[in-house]
Structure 1
Amino acid sequence: MQTMTTLVLGASGATGILLVEQLLQRDLHVRAIVRSSAKLPQTLMEHPRLSLIETSIADATDAEMTRFVDGCDAVASCLGHNLTLKGIFGRPRRLVTEATQRVCLAAQANASSTPTKFVLMNTAGNSNRDLNEPISWAQRCIMVLLRNMVPPHRDNEMAADHLRTAIGPTSPSIEWVVVRPDTLTNAPTVTQYTLHPSPTRSAIFNAGESSRINVAHFMAEMIADADTWNRWKGQMPVLYNVA
């Protein structure tokens, strides 16, 4: 049986590195896109099942994106905006959305005999509009402000909406899951976590915690395990640490 290959976007980020490690622990091949390999641990760079592509997603041509995705059974995006003034308000303001759109176009262009799995890391502050998730009036007001004043929030919304509406549940080329962690934290090991189709608490007024390693573990489990994938495909699960 041929070993699966996963393309990881944002592989040098805090969650991306952990996802690469989790995938390699499951004996999968990983193709990782990084701006600079210097951010990766040396032991990881020397792993025989890891191949690195040093480039900026924003600078890659459509032909290059198609080549990056070609031969991959899955794509996982851990892309996000740095929490600095430049990262939040500078360009590219639609980093996640444009990468999502281009990955989908590349997967469609490659026309694989089986759908490419696409896992997008997003945020619990983004609603799944397919489920009409209840949001308090106060939180709704704050979300309107975030949508109009903080570009990364709108970027996350648009990326998830592209998968929900432009790709949808019946695409022959792409199956997708949008993972929604709440407040991201750092932890040394995987701990117990729960998964929910919708938020069970307010991301603004009663936020939960989601460790990056738990998020990486769940993303890797979906890619590697068919039952886990079939449970969540076409959905936007919310992940919380168990206190």
Structure 2
Amino acid sequence: MKIIVFGASGRTGQEVVRQALEQGKSVTAFVRSPQKLQIDLPSKGNGELHIVQGNALDPAAVSRAIEGQDSVVSCLGTRGFSRGKTISEMTANLIAGMQQHRVERIGYVASAGIYREIPGLTGFLAQLLLRQVLADHRRAADALEASGLQWTIARPLQLMNGRLRGEYLEARHGVPSGKGRISRADVAHFLLRTLKDATYVNQSVALSY
């Protein structure tokens, strides 16, 4: 399987790349700054890593990179408390490139809270502090749902560094009643698992321990 990972230099994106290589996949890492991609090639697995430098806001560059791929993983995000529409604009470019080259499968990392589904004080604070970012992810999610592609949206609660467990709670509606956090390694595990599991096609899933 050939996978292209957008946002590959971010902490979740690097986990996706590393695990995909361990699984023997051919991985294209699409990054603005290749020097930020700090991947130690795994000792197991025979995957191949290809690095493409580009900006996901450039539709032509995105389209060229998607050509010939089997599936797409988006770990795109913005820094800080962005007030723009950067995420949804980049996602629109991904959708257009996939439609042009008939690549159907995409896994997308958003965030819990895009549907205002987090209850109580935690949900209130999320909307207060991250309202613009969550709204941008929601626009991207809505675009994916209308795209005709085979999409899966991962909605992790609080992200943290930590080991890969391979076990976590999932909720298609609302959020899991768990610990309210999950490691980036397990979010990556979920994304790669869903690419080959039709159960998750056209599903938005919240993740937590």
Shorter-chain TM-score: which interval? 0.7 to 0.9
TM-score by length of 2: 0.86
Match of 2:54 in 1: 55
Distance 2:182 2:16 in 1: 14
Match of 1:118 in 2: 106
Distance 2:175 2:40 in 1: 39
Q: Percent of pairs identical after alignment? A: 30
Distance 2:152 2:64 in 1: 23
Pairing 1:138-217 to 2, within 5 Å after superposition: 145=128, 150-164=131-145, 166-167=146-147, 171=148, 174-200=149-175, 208-217=180-189
Distance 2:92 2:6 in 1: 13
Distance 1:48 1:77 in 2: 19
> Who wins on radius of gyration, i.e. which is larger?
1
Distance 2:189 2:33 in 1: 24
Pair 1:40-2:40 in alignment: no
Partner secondary structure for residue 119 of structure 1: strand
**1:154 Cα deviation from its structure 2 partner:** 1.3
Asked if structure 2 preserves the Cα contact closer than 8 Å seen for 1:8 and 1:78, the reply is yes
Distance 1:185 1:17 in 2: 14
Aligned match for 1:30, one of 27, 35, 40: 27
Distance 1:215 1:18 in 2: 9
Query: What is the alpha-carbon root mean square deviation over aligned residues?
Result: 2.7
Asked if structure 2 preserves the Cα contact closer than 8 Å seen for 1:10 and 1:78, the reply is yes
| Structure 2: 5+ residue stretches without partners | none
Asked if structure 1 preserves the Cα contact closer than 8 Å seen for 2:158 and 2:181, the reply is yes
Deviations 1:55-111 (A, max 9, x none): 2222x2x332211111111111111122xxxx3246xx222211111111111112x
Distance 2:31 2:12 in 1: 13
| Structure 1: 5+ residue stretches without partners | none
- Comparing 35-44 and 68-77, the one that deviates more: 35-44
Partner secondary structure for residue 80 of structure 1: coil
Aligned match for 1:95, one of 78, 86, 91: 86
Partner secondary structure for residue 143 of structure 2: helix
Partner secondary structure for residue 216 of structure 1: helix
Cα distance change on mapping 1:136 and 1:211 into 2, 3 Å = closer
Partner secondary structure for residue 43 of structure 1: coil
**1:207 Cα deviation from its structure 2 partner:** 6.6
Cα distance change on mapping 1:73 and 1:208 into 2, 3 Å = same
TM-score by length of 1: 0.75
Cα distance change on mapping 1:73 and 1:123 into 2, 3 Å = same
